[in-house]
Amino acid sequence: MSRRLDTGGSWIDRSRPITFRFDEVEYEGFEGDTLASALLANGVTGGFRSPIIGRPRGVMTAGPEEPNAFVEINEPWFDPIVAATMVELVDGLVAEPRAGVGRLAAPAEVPPVDAVHRHIHVETLVVGGGRSGVKAAVAAANRGDRVLLLDERHRVDNAPDGVTVLPRTTALGVYDDGYVVALESTPELERLWHVRAGRVVLATGATERPIAFAGNDRPGVMLASAAATYLERFGVLAGERVAIFTTNDSGLESADSLRAAGAEIAHTLGVGEDPSTAIDGVDLLLVSGGWNPNLTLWRSMGGGLRYSRRLATFRPNGNGPPWLEVVGSAYGDGLPGSETYWLESAEDYSEHFVDLQRDQTVADIAAALDAGLVSAEHVKRATYIGTAIDQGRTSGVLTAAIVNQLLGTDPDAQGPTSARPPAVPVSYATIAGPDRGDLLDPIRRTRLHRWHEEHGAVFEDVGQWKRPRYFPRHGETVDAAVARECRAVRNAAGVLDASTLGKIDVAGPDAAAFLDRMYTNRMSTLPVGSIRYGFMLGLDGMVGDDGVALRLSEDHFLVTTTTGNAAMVLDRFEEWLQTEWPELRVYCTSVTEQWSDVAVAGPRAREVIAALGTDIDLAPDAFPFMTFRDGAVAGVSVRVARVSFTGELSYEILVDGRRGLELWEAVMSAGAPLGIASYGTEAMHVLRAEKGFVIVGQDIDGTVMPDDLGMGWIVRKEDSDFIGRRSLRRADSLREDRKQLVGLLPDRLLPEGAQLVEEDTGRIPMPMIGHVTSSYASPSLGRPIALAIVERGRSRHGETVYAPLPDGTISAEIVPPVFYDPEGARRDG
């Protein structure tokens, strides 16, 4: 039975019919319809169920306040649950009713949502494109402001020129300093707008309030203004024999408009009358309990409320941020006066619905109050009123009013609970926008990345960087590849891409003095041309980062940091220079990516460099350990540093980043006949552990001091201050039972992080005396090794400790933390 009138409907285009399916039945509507208006036009007055007790329900409103008519959209896009009043009808739409909770679709069913974000700056943002909103937008544009006007409906009538207008766009939340996030939702795309506005004008309008009476949730009960809207916008007459139950004039006006369109108004009821007496033979019961200003966004920024006796509702009280204002009916302007009437008196309130989406009634509110909950906030938590998708748009003020009435207090004793962002549901995919998959967090690659990829590298994440972990050949397992790479470095030569290490240029007359303050050892005594390894501590004395400093001249250093701490170290340098020591004449510049770092290590490393051709004298006494030389290698200008993280003869070649690949390929080519192999971070970890070299973030976890590592030698003896020095002398730092770095020789491979105990008795509880920080199968030793920190570790060499694990206990002998070449004889090749 069609409810569509032959004429009328300012929003629909009768020349453009649309076919859609609802609950497996095909219907027709017009372009401009919402799904709800098209269903009503087709005489579908019910078709829905309440979510918890399954009562029949129908369309009750014409907007986002809809509590009943929720649907799942399957074509031409997927939406798990959305109000039919907010769905723009498109050709081929397939929808089915859903009550309560949306269904998560399986990935194969759903194409990825296209979602983008957009940032926009305006002097004035107007939320709401009704009369007051348009007026405010025009006034702002005339002042010369950049103006953005949003409206959640899919049209804005009388959209002004000179103003950016966004229909289908809902403000999800208003935040500090005029930051507003808004969701623009079209069938093709979801766009999240990030608006920064100098001022925000809320022209968010008002929502009609229902009345609580027995059976007020049945299909055919509708807000009076909604029926008028369906008539005016969509040419739909929602009922032919109509009753109106109202506390105010607007209800009567809505009924009049239906009468003018041909409906019979069978009954007109006011305050105190019982609607159940008036519904026989009536197919539409219009309800109007007054109008509530829509103030969610106002309240989210701390805007206050005051009660209006005339309007029988709450309006803004003017106390809010200076950049936020409320206009129009959201302020209470132009709203009809209403009698104060929330519910129809009865013996039994169990069918007087208040929050239809939560199936909560006046009886449920009374039960909460009877249980001793007297705050509207507690009633909300006990009943869930206001927490559903409609966020209490039709139940918020009503609930507070009913609480006040049932407690016998004044109507303004308690106000409605506040709603939280988002104002309407928004999918995580939209919130993520383009920041998903590979774009979730930047993936950083060195300039040699493509080479690594082409040569089969398996990568690992080191912070945001992708670093080769190992280079398996011919289907090697990881263990086989790592063992091969380690053997290559120990027996011939290996090459590692160390480009990710942080590099900082430190220059100025006070550069040396500055570095002395930042590091535990003294860089000021470093000769030009030499390199020193140092620790940077936190003020708390814990090791924060390690690296080397190269002295380029009296006033000029190149400092390296670990990969993960590059930014932190530079930030710390700047913090101290800018905030504590502005008198020091030092300038720091990041050069992390100015230089690629090709690190060649192994007994044949010198031969590799020589084979490349160089003007640098590579003889050991001409180029000693911990010095550097500038020159040319393979025809490329380089800086070569003799530092070693593997214990083997090692040359780190620093080269302009744009020529890094060229140099790397030359190294591989020249080294091939010498047995060179590229190696990754896994082999690097094993090789350094065999030498007992610690790694920040692995053996050093922010709780470890230099002496704990057996590295007291790295702390200067002179009486000059450096960051962290005072903390090294705290009583706790001088405790004899501090955990100290040791080596372990376990009977089988230990898991990193394994806790260590003194006895193998299984007694519970058992004191834990330390844990394993690094653990590897050592190819050089042909057995498993580990590093650990253990209480009084240095006095326990030779003792056995145990690691109780789910699948059995591993025992290990405590040894000094160096397993291979303890004299350091291999360092010069």
Partner 1 sequence: MTDELLVAAELVQVGVRADPSILPFETAEPNTVTTWNGRDVLWLGPDEWLVVGEQGTEDAIRRELEDAFAGRHHSVVDVGANRTVFDLTDGLDLLSNSCGLDLHSSRWRPGMCAQTLFAQAQVILHQRDVRTTRIFVRPSFADHVREAIRVTEFLG
Partner 2 sequence: MLLIRCPWCGPRDEVEFRYGGQAHIPYPQDPDALSDEEWADFLFMRDNPRGPFRERWYHVHGCRRWFHAVRDTSTHRFIATYRIGEEPPT
Q: Rule CB under 8 A: which residues touch partner 2? A: 175-179, 194, 196, 302, 539-540, 571, 574-575, 578-580, 582, 721, 725-727, 730-731
Is the CB of residue 484 less than 8 Å from the CB of residue 680? no
> 623 near 629, Cβ under 8 Å?
yes
Q: Does 657 bind partner 1 (CB under 8 A)?
A: yes
Q: How far is the CB of 114 from partner 1 (least distance, A)?
A: 5
Asked if 547 and 559 touch (Cβ cutoff 8 Å), the reply is: yes
In contact, 708 and 739? CB cutoff 8 Å:
yes
| Token duo for residue 17 | 């019919």
Min CB(642)–partner 1 separation in Å: 23
Phi-psi region of 601 (alpha: psi -120 to 50; beta: other; left: phi over 0): beta
For residue 710, count other CB atoms closer than 10 A to its CB: 17
Three-state secondary structure call for residue 432: helix
Q: Is 730 one of the binding residues for partner 1 (CB under 8 A)?
A: no
Residue 177 binding target from partner 1, partner 2, none, CB below 5 to 8 Å by type: partner 2
Closest CA to 743 of 799, 661, 660, 696: 799
| Strand ranges in 508-555 using DSSP code E only, listed in sequence order | 531-537, 543-553
**CB under 8 Å to 187, separation ≥6 — which residues?**
76, 77, 88, 90
Residue 460 makes contact with partner 1 by CB under 8 A = no
Q: Which is nearer to partner 2, 240 or 540 (CB)?
A: 540
Residue placing its CB nearer to partner 2 in the complex, 108 or 731? 731
User: In whole angstroms, what is the distance from residue 239 CA to residue 145 CA?
Assistant: 46
Nearer to partner 2, 175 or 533 (CB): 175
Nearest CB to partner 1, comparing residues 537 and 634: 634
Distance CA 620, CA 611 (A): 17
Q: Do you find a cis peptide bond into 422, omega within 30 degrees of 0?
A: yes
Q: Cα separation of 768 and 491, whole Å?
A: 39
Q: Which stretch binds partner 1 (CB under 8 A): 240-248, 437-445, 487-495, 604-612?
A: 437-445
- Judged by CB under 8 A, the chain residues 361 through 420 that form the site for partner 1 are none
Q: Rounded distance, CA 415 to CA 400, Å? A: 6
Considering the complex, state which of residue 7 and residue 579 has its C-beta at the smaller distance from partner 1: 579
Where helices occur in 492-561 by DSSP H, the ranges are: 511-518
Q: Which does 591 bind (CB under 5 to 8 A by kind): partner 2, partner 1, none?
A: partner 1
Question: Minimum CB separation from partner 1 for residue 590, in Å?
Answer: 7
Chosen residue from 49, 585, 716, 771 binding partner 1 by CB under 8 A: 585
C-alpha to C-alpha distance for 243 and 275, rounded to whole angstroms: 9
Of 465 and 722, which has the nearer Cβ to partner 1? Answer: 465
- The yes or no reply on residue 525 touching partner 1 (CB under 8 A) is no
* Residue with Cβ nearer partner 1 (198 or 270): 198
Whose Cβ is closer to partner 2: residue 419's or residue 588's? 588
Q: Is 9 exposed, middle or buried (0-12, 13-18, 19+ CB in 10 A)?
A: buried
Does 505 participate in binding partner 1 (rule CB under 8 A)?
yes
Minimum distance between the CB of residue 585 and partner 1, rounded to whole angstroms?
A: 4
* Neighbouring C-beta atoms of residue 607, cutoff 10 Å: 21
Contacts of 306 (CB under 8 A, 6+ apart): 314, 315, 316, 317, 412
Residue 763 contact among partner 1, partner 2, none, beta carbon within 5 to 8 Å by kind: none
Q: What span, in angstroms and rounded, lies between the C-alpha atoms of 816 and 742?
A: 6
Nearest to 755 by CA among 790, 724, 784: 790
- Residue 444 binds partner 1 (CB under 8 A): yes
**Would you count residue 432 as binding partner 1 (CB under 8 A)?**
no
The reply on whether position 114 binds partner 1 by CB under 8 A is: yes
Contact stretch for partner 1 (CB under 8 A) within 135-143, 653-661, 737-745, 792-800: 653-661
DSSP secondary structure, 446-462, as one string: -TTHHHHHHTTPEEEEE
For position 571 contacting partner 1 by CB under 8 A, the verdict is no
Q: Which residues pair with 72 in a beta bridge?
A: 96
Judged by DSSP in three states, 667 sits in helix
By CB under 8 A, which span of 33-41, 234-242, 245-253, 440-448 interacts with partner 1? 440-448
The 18-57 site mask, x for binding partner 1 (CB under 8 A), equals ----------------------------------------
Report which DSSP code applies to 176: G
Contact segment (CB under 8 A) with partner 1 among 114-122, 318-326, 381-389, 712-720 equals 114-122
Place of tokens 């030359």: 666
Query: From the list 14, 16, 103, 118, which residue makes contact with partner 1 (rule: CB under 8 A)?
Result: 118
Q: Does 636 bind partner 1 (CB under 8 A)?
A: no
Choice between 180 and 214, CB closer to partner 2: 180
Q: How far is the CB of 433 from partner 1 (least distance, A)?
A: 8
The entry of partner 2, partner 1, none near residue 571 (CB within 5 to 8 angstroms by kind) is partner 2
Using DSSP's 3-state secondary structure scheme, residue 310 falls into: coil
Q: Does 443 sit near partner 1 (CB under 8 A)? A: yes
Binding at 407: pick from partner 1, partner 2, none (beta carbon under 5-8 Å per type): none
Q: Of partner 1, partner 2, none, which one does residue 725 interact with (CB within 5 to 8 Å by kind)?
A: partner 2
* 465 sits near partner 1 (criterion: CB under 8 A): yes
Q: Is 468 a binder of partner 1 (CB under 8 A)?
A: no
Q: Please report whether residue 438 would count as binding partner 1 according to CB under 8 A.
A: yes
Shortest distance in whole angstroms from residue 92 CB to partner 1: 22
Nearest to 273 by CA among 343, 356, 365: 343
Q: How many whole angstroms separate alpha carbon 62 and alpha carbon 36?
A: 8
Give the closest residue to 667 by CA, choosing from 635, 700, 689: 635
Tell me, by CB under 8 A, how many residues bind partner 1.
41
Show the tokens assigned to 402: 């009913």
657 binds, options partner 1, partner 2, none, Cβ within 5 to 8 A by partner type = partner 1
The helix/strand/coil state of 266 is strand
CB-nearer residue toward partner 1: 162 or 281: 162
First to last CA, the chain: 95
Looking at beta carbons only, is 78 or 175 nearer to partner 2? 175
Most distant CA atoms of the chain, gap in Å? 111
Q: Considering beta carbons, is residue 133 or 706 the nearer one to partner 2? A: 706
Among 14, 306, 310, 658, binds partner 1 (CB under 8 A): 658
Q: Which residues bind partner 1 (CB under 8 A)?
A: 114-121, 146, 189, 194, 196, 433-435, 438-439, 441-447, 465, 505, 507-509, 585, 587, 589-595, 656-658
